[in-house]
A and B are shown apart, each in its own frame.
Chain A
């Protein structure tokens, strides 16, 4: 039993904008009233109360994250977390170890995080890491945009079979949503190629990126998945790619879709040349089309690790940076690339990327349709969220930061003209209420009756970075885990997944596909629920 009294509550899903009111908790949920005899009362006078943060797109578990950890000892060495009587030890840097990942999200007031790109063949690995990632609730998106079985079905005009297979695959992997990464391009990368437009043919399969995008957007809808198709567009990171992004938006033609790390897809200019911001043009389109939502993938200056399911992009970054490069092609499914990268404030391209991200935040009218992400760790670590919040809430601070970046690059963006400042209410939307709603998590991101009691309480501070970096209290499932900045208890959150229905007749086709092209047996593919997801929750599909 817990009662939080006199806090200034920001709960946008329930329309509460800074009202002083009490929040009551019982058995891990928000309730109307509670008898706190034997329980606890937190006096939140002068404090800000919000739902726990929700990260809807990050890379925190699975094979490519772990390969990045193993590849970069230099990234961990100077950022360590010793063990305590309560918590496990670990290392940080841009790709923290699992324990450190969970604790750091929690200490920052985030209580839910979704990994954005897991190849289903390695789903078991992602779940194993989740079991060593404390505190946060989690789930992952399943990579399908280069899945050979799906491409073959689309080419054969067997949309229903592609749908049945996608449902089977989500169940087998215990995944949450359908993710596309450079659809068609990663398949071609397996022989060293790529696609460049939505209508390039994926050699050997007779489909185009456009068909993959449209089919899987439809599949997501038909299956009634809580989160729509989640798209990493073609041509990420290439000057001039905004046209591909716009074409993708148009190809969706009213279908619901989430376009991720949109910053990386908003570049004008000629391939190989400098980037020019096209955030304004794309934001205008998104503003006018309510079927589309985005998260930003903000770049922040410093050293980080690029890790992506987009294999050819990884190779491009290796060519640009000359740093170490890992690539993993995954049979019949996907690929990935990993390269360390340093974003420099005096670099023309990096300044443009930084500014484009901020432009997106400031140009999208409806905060419910844009989520705060860095595409952790691609644009920056999730640990930089408080700094981003300050940039959004504090115009003067933003102007100070603009003085430190590449002036010519900055001048070619709209950022210097944008005076908008986010309110606490809007911050609550882009960091918890919005992402929870976009993910279709009905008990997350709000403090209404019946919601999971994931609550973050901040000391008010004019320095918003300080305020959001160190919450006073973090409550997860009704338990006070962080108090005065210290972790008091170690817990393990739940894993969300979906279990959409499908016609079991598809299994014969899948089995044949396994016999021909996989190196593991069909029977050994699905993740064993009780073994790998000891604390799980199925999120219902509406289909």
Chain B
């Protein structure tokens, strides 16, 4: 059986043209998908013999696991819910409801990827567009601190570089593509211009570009050690001013290197300034398939995009106070619920350590570092393969996930819903 127009929820590109072949209860082909998407469909589209629930590493009855997990959470004084970037908005909505009832913190992967972009939005605003605008109009495309060829393999073909659009009839020939990064990545081959900047010098270069765009005179001395010459930078500034529709794609090279939200703020300001001379937009290169969705769900339910605390019964926001790395490394959280994410594999040592010290509950579609240390681990079905749901592309375009296979496991939404119901019983308001 072939299912067409399937939406891939693996990365922020959320390609929706995948043709999936299902044979004997497993996915055998994912046509049009990139190497990452293929791996996602094929690995999640296989039967699994993992138990639906485990307590302390031993297979357990699902009801018992729900009860045990709910008790850990209800007894905690400062529980943390984290992850959520690879699950549906329907599950994310349940997670926020649970955080509220628990009076705990809820944070998503945004806080360790594009949180600094969210903070730049709060300081400066954000001139942005959907990816179709890039396809139809952009004659100057700049990737900064991003390596789409490996992180978002179809980004350039579908949205930004080779694709043809209404005002870009010849596709690649009508565009200038610039890549700025600290090393020549495979993406550099697709660029007309590649600039290798020195690590930690992005802010200086962005600020110098702002000055040049505003017509100020700079000398070479200020650029020493940045990896770019004044001539290169002046040429780039001129290209930015001359283009008809420019777009800056920001990657984690900007958001997670020294300077963080100052880097993103400089980039946002640069793009804002450029709108006084031409049309320019920026789009953060969001990584996980629905990390943009969780920002949106938190946004509409609480008013804040990540790092939300419910200790006072209402939402509060403060990056650095209510964000995952901080809440864990300071030893504040005394229980953790991890959904569709693997922080034990990715967070800094102290934060990771804390997860092994407190009762950690994990929901994931497969075994991970986090499910291995979890006191209670649930195996869940995959949104976009086994269950329907909603995801938001990196440009906030919402798409509906299809179900292509049945699954013996409950969805994240169902498990979270059961935890919510049980916690409400254990912890009446």
Measuring CB to CB, which residues of chain A are less than 8 angstroms from any residue of chain B?
61, 63, 65-67, 69-73, 75-77, 80-85, 88-91, 93, 95-99, 121-122, 124-125, 128-129, 132, 148, 190-192, 204, 315, 318, 323-332, 338-339, 516-521, 523-524, 527-528, 531
Contact = CB atoms under 8 A, between A and B. Distances in A.
- Tell which of A77, A85, A331 has the most Cβ of chain B within 10 Å: A331
A20 to B, nearest CB: 41
The secondary structure that dominates the B interface is mixed
B399 A520 contact: yes
The secondary structure that dominates the A interface is mixed
A73 B123 CA distance: 10
Interface string B290-312: 00000110011111110000101
A521 B5 contact: yes
Contacts of B313: 82-83, 89
- Tell which of B130, B133, B167 has the most Cβ of chain A within 10 Å: B130
A71 B136 contact: no
A315 B277 CA distance: 13
A186 to B, nearest CB: 12
B258 to A, nearest CB: 24
Given A71-B126, A80-B315, A91-B302, 5 more contacts: A70-B303, A89-B302, A125-B398, A132-B300, A523-B5
Nearest to B388: A531
A122 B396 contact: yes
Contacts of A65: 300
A128 B300 CA distance: 10
Given A71-B122, A73-B122, A331 B132 contact: yes
B128 interface: yes
Interface stretch (B158-166, B217-225, B228-236, B366-374): B158-166
Contact of A330 (B130, B159, B316): B130
A91 B303 contact: yes
B278 interface: yes
Contacts of A531: 388, 400
Contacts of B137: 190-191
The 6 closest A-B pairs by CB, nearest first: A331-B132, A82-B313, A324-B125, A91-B303, A329-B129, A80-B314
Contacts of B124: 324-325
B413 interface: no
20 contacts: A67-B299, A69-B304, A71-B126, A73-B304, A73-B317, A80-B312, A83-B101, A95-B303, A124-B399, A125-B396, A190-B133, A192-B279, A327-B126, A327-B127, A331-B135, A517-B165, A519-B130, A519-B397, A520-B16, A531-B388
Contacts, number: 201
Contacts of A63: 396
A66 B302 CA distance: 10
A325 B127 contact: yes
Contacts of B300: 61, 65-66, 69, 97-98, 128-129, 132
**Interface size class of chain B, counting residues whose CB lies under 8 Å from the partner chain:** 35 or more
Nearest to B123: A324
Interface of B: 4-5, 7, 16-17, 89, 93, 97, 100-101, 118, 121-133, 135-137, 158-159, 165-167, 244-245, 272, 275, 278-279, 281, 295-296, 299-305, 310, 312-317, 388, 390, 392, 396-400, 428-429
A76 B275 contact: no
B398 A90 contact: no
Contacts of A204: 166-167
B166 A328 contact: no
A342 to B, nearest CB: 16
Nearest to A74: B122
Contacts of A318: 125
A99 B127 contact: no
A328 B129 contact: yes
B301 A518 contact: no
A89 B314 contact: yes
Contact of B295 (A70, A80, A519, A528): A70
A383 B304 CA distance: 21
A521 B32 CA distance: 13
Contacts of A339: 125
A538 to B, nearest CB: 20
